[in-house]
Amino acid sequence: MTTIHRWRAFSVLAVAYFMTIVDLTIVNVSLPSIGRDLRFSESGLQWVVTAYGVTFGGLLLLGGRAADALGRRRVFLLGLVVFTAASLACALARDDTFLVVMRGVQGAGAAIVLPAALSIVMNMFTEGAERNKALGLWGAIGASGATIGLITGGLVTRYLGWEYIFYLNIPTGLAALMLAPRVVPESRIETLRRRFDSLGALTVTAGLLLLVYGISTAPQDGWGAAKSVGSLTAGGALLIAFLVIEARAQSPLLPLRILRMRTVAGADSAGFLLGGSFYAFVFVGTLYMQQVLGYSALQTGLAWLATSLTSVALAGLSQLLVGRVGSAPILAAGMAMISGGTLWAAHIGVHGRFWADLAGPLFVTGAGTAFAFIPISIAGLTGVSARDAGLASGLLNTAQQLGGAIGVAVTSTVAASRAGALAAAGRAPDVALTGGFRDAFYVCAALAALGVLIGGLIIPRRTTALTQRLEPAVAASAADKVEYPDAIVN
């Protein structure tokens, strides 16, 4: 492929990736409207966000392995069909259960799209400066997509209605479906057995779903209630079973050998904490703006513009610094900024003002995402062979999305528990809510602080900088047998 063809293909893949990331948060500012129209309970409303995140994260590994075996472009197109169809179903939803189920299907479609797209990007660009540039742009999309989703959600909800946040995906998905066969190359691992670890996929997805469900409902049911204990115990047992299955399976969904790569393991661990801290911060911050400060959906989206613009503005600098000093120190700095920004946000009050109380934390956190998402995206694929491209990309995004789903569940639980205790003590409703959100921000800050340790202690400090100085590989390994056409076909 020529350079022009590679970047054309990258553009199509990046648009699809952006669409899946935006859908993680685009519903956040629309939740009050969705809740009123479809008569959601307060505790059930978070599942509009969580259902997408759990199926997204739980099926990413299977999506990545399927892409390696069946053909990355073919699987990418299948995921686009599922995602686009589910988006239409979400827009047409007229009851709460149907919407939550379709959000889960939408997340499954995203789980098919994303690892296929990222593994195609990885294999189109030779390891070194050009791949780092592509992965840097990919990380910038991930860093900005979440907050751009909030802005878009606010505008669309205000002027068109919440249904149109899902209708937006339809023309985008159809355009990608038309362009991808023309500009995106096909590739697969010919020697990889076309067998899938369906039992592994079932156990990891069910286990995570039960854990998130147990964490989310325990404040209402009681942590010692049979329902809560049963959900948490069953979830933990299924995840342990998943590890046992992977250690013995002939074609495991997650070959445990890849976790012995220190850079990959460190990037995935940091990605989990990044998702848990940042996506939870977005979720809790949005609720604070709307439920305490009385912001409309549009005002909330515009407030998050501070985070998004800062992230986009600093993405190029982040990529440059990673190339010069390596992923580890830049990642640690980014996670420190996110921790500091969310800790600053914990000083919120009942009568908070944007410039006095919110702008600072939003700008600092936005800078942190630029310096965290990009080094994680690069480090998570450094040194990975073409044979494991889908697996590595699926694992990296699994960590981020599951971190986000669990982070949202944990922080919403903390906020609800604290707010309930303050309300029972006779505090005014807005005071009780603010106290709950404050404690949730402390949890976000603690998660991000753990990410600082990961960046500083696990990921080798000079890995990426050294990789960029090495001569690019001249050919793929013969054992991998990755097939790329010299010209765009089909």
**In 3D, which of 324, 328, 285, 223 has the Cα closest to residue 438?**
285
Does residue 341 sit in helix, strand or coil? helix
Question: Based on the number of CB atoms within 10 Å of its own CB, is 421 exposed (0-12), middle (13-18) or buried (19 or more)?
Answer: middle
| Cα separation values, 332 from 327, 441, 461, Å | 9, 19, 10
What pLDDT is attached to residue 216?
Answer: 64
pLDDT in tens, the chain (490 residues): 677 788 999 999 999 999 988 887 888 788 888 998 998 876 677 788 878 877 887 777 778 878 877 889 999 999 999 999 999 999 999 999 999 999 999 999 998 999 899 889 988 887 777 888 888 888 888 878 877 888 888 889 889 999 999 999 999 999 999 999 999 998 766 555 556 677 887 888 788 778 777 776 676 677 788 988 998 899 999 999 999 998 888 878 788 888 888 888 899 999 999 999 998 999 899 889 999 999 988 898 889 989 988 998 998 899 889 888 888 899 999 999 999 999 999 999 999 999 999 999 999 999 999 999 999 988 888 878 777 777 788 888 878 877 887 888 789 889 988 999 999 999 999 999 999 999 999 999 999 999 998 876 767 665 444 444 433 333 333 333 333 333 333 3
Instruction: Tell me the pLDDT tens digit for each residue of 286-300.
Output: 889 999 999 988 898
Domain ranges of the chain: 3-180+198-469
Cross-strand bridge partners of residue 482: 189
Answer yes or no: are the C-beta atoms of 255 and 200 closer than 8 Å. Answer: no
For residue 65, give both structure tokens.
Answer: 């392995």
Query: Do residues 404 and 280 touch, judged by C-beta distance below 8 A?
Result: yes
pLDDT for 195 equals 64
Q: What is the pTM of this model?
A: 0.82
How confident is the model at residue 189, as a pLDDT? Answer: 62
Provide φ and ψ at 222, rounded to 5°. 100, 135
Per residue in 38-75, pLDDT tens? 988 766 777 888 788 778 877 777 788 788 778 899 99
- How high is the pLDDT of residue 384? 80
Residue 402 pLDDT: 78
What is the Cα–Cα distance from 308 to 363, expressed in whole angstroms?
9
Determine whether domain 3-180+198-469 maps to CATH 1.20.1250.20.
yes
Pair 316, 133: CB distance under 8 Å: no
Q: How far apart are the C-alpha atoms of 358 and 367, rounded to whole Å? A: 15
pLDDT digits (tens, 9 = 90+) for 175-197: 999 999 999 998 766 555 556 67
